[in-house]
Amino acid sequence: MFATIAPRYDLITALLSYGQDRRWKRHLMDLAAVSPDDVVLDLACGTGDLLFVAAGRAHRAVGLDVTLDMLRLARAKPAANAVGMVAGDMMALPFADARFSLVTTGYGLRNVPELSGAIQEIRRVLAPGGRLLSLDFNRPANALLRRVYLVYLTIVGSVLGLALHGDPDTYRYIPESIRHYPGAAGVADLLREAGFRDVRVVPLLGGLMAIHVARRTGDSS
């Protein structure tokens, strides 16, 4: 599916966010406070938006994505020479323990098969005291608002899927993934249970989107 949408990925994120996606990602990177000492891993890096910003600020930045077509598009961009890119699975990260001081992801956690396992893998590759920042859709707690939100995403996704790919089902994975997602508060709870501290949620778009900020516990466990 992501191979299918890869050529239109940048366009669709801009359309579904009302043009706010780049601003949200800049806000995430500002919250991350990337320093020249940081070694950054950007998960589900897609076409490289967060990765390339990190590369301009950090000692080293590496992007990982499971979809080769996404990585090909990222590698075609001028900033690609400054980063490393790896094809891999967030459920089994191909990196040593405590390898990174910062992990970022945009729209990544919502799409993994098993969220708790992915969070444990992120914790494993983070050094003690390392930070995690994640941008994603929220799942509104209010049932009526959630229903309206999901219906809206289904209708808009169907129109865009038909217009861009000739298939109205192409982007229906977005509302479907939100239906099974624990939402921003639920993800925050999972992060705390996994051994993250200073966990907070930064709401965006009236709470329909969110950035998670968390820090790995400082012990060696």
pLDDT tier for residue 164 given thresholds of 50, 70 and 90: confident
Output the furthest CA–CA distance in the chain (Å, rounded). 52
CA–CA separation, 66 vs 81, rounded Å? 20
Question: Which residue type is seen at 151?
Answer: V
- Phi (first) and psi of residue 56, to 5 degrees: -75, -10
- Give me the residues paired with residue 57 across strands: none
Taking each helix axis as running N to C, give the angle between helix 115-125 and helix 183-193, from 0 to 180 degrees, rounded to the nearest 10: 50
In this predicted structure, the answer to whether residue 101 has a pLDDT above a threshold of 90 is yes
Indicate if the alpha-carbon torsion angle 103, 6, 75, 209 is positive or negative. Answer: negative
Judged against a pLDDT cut of 70, whether residue 208 lies above it is answered with: yes
Q: Per-residue pLDDT for 97 more than 90?
A: yes
Name the strand (E) or helix (H) holding 1. Answer: none
pLDDT band at 1 (very low <50, low <70, confident <90, very high): low
User: For the segment 108-143, what is each residue's pLDDT rounded down to a tens digit?
Assistant: 999 999 999 999 999 999 999 999 999 999 999 899
Q: What pLDDT was estimated at residue 13?
A: 85
pLDDT recorded at residue 11 = 78
| Alpha helices, DSSP H, located in the chain | 2-5, 9-16, 21-32, 49-55, 68-75, 115-125, 143-165, 173-179, 183-193
pLDDT at position 219: 64
Res 151: pLDDT: 93
Q: Is 178 helix (H, G, I), strand (E, B) or coil?
A: helix
CA 100 to each of CA 86, 124, 187, 193, 194: distance values in angstroms, whole numbers, following the listed order? 15, 9, 21, 21, 17
pTM: 0.92
Q: Average per-residue pLDDT in the chain?
A: 92
Pairing of strands 209-216, 84-87: unpaired
pLDDT tens digits along 168-187: 888 888 899 999 999 999 99
- Sheet architecture: strand order including 60-65: 84-87, 60-65, 39-43, 100-106, 126-137, 209-216, 196-204
* Distance from C-alpha of 148 to C-alpha of 6, rounded to nearest angstrom: 27
User: Is 8 a residue whose pLDDT tops 80?
Assistant: no
The whole-number pLDDT of residue 221 equals: 45
Helices (runs of H) and strands (runs of E) counted in the chain: 9, 7
Query: Over pLDDT 90: what percentage of the chain?
Result: 75
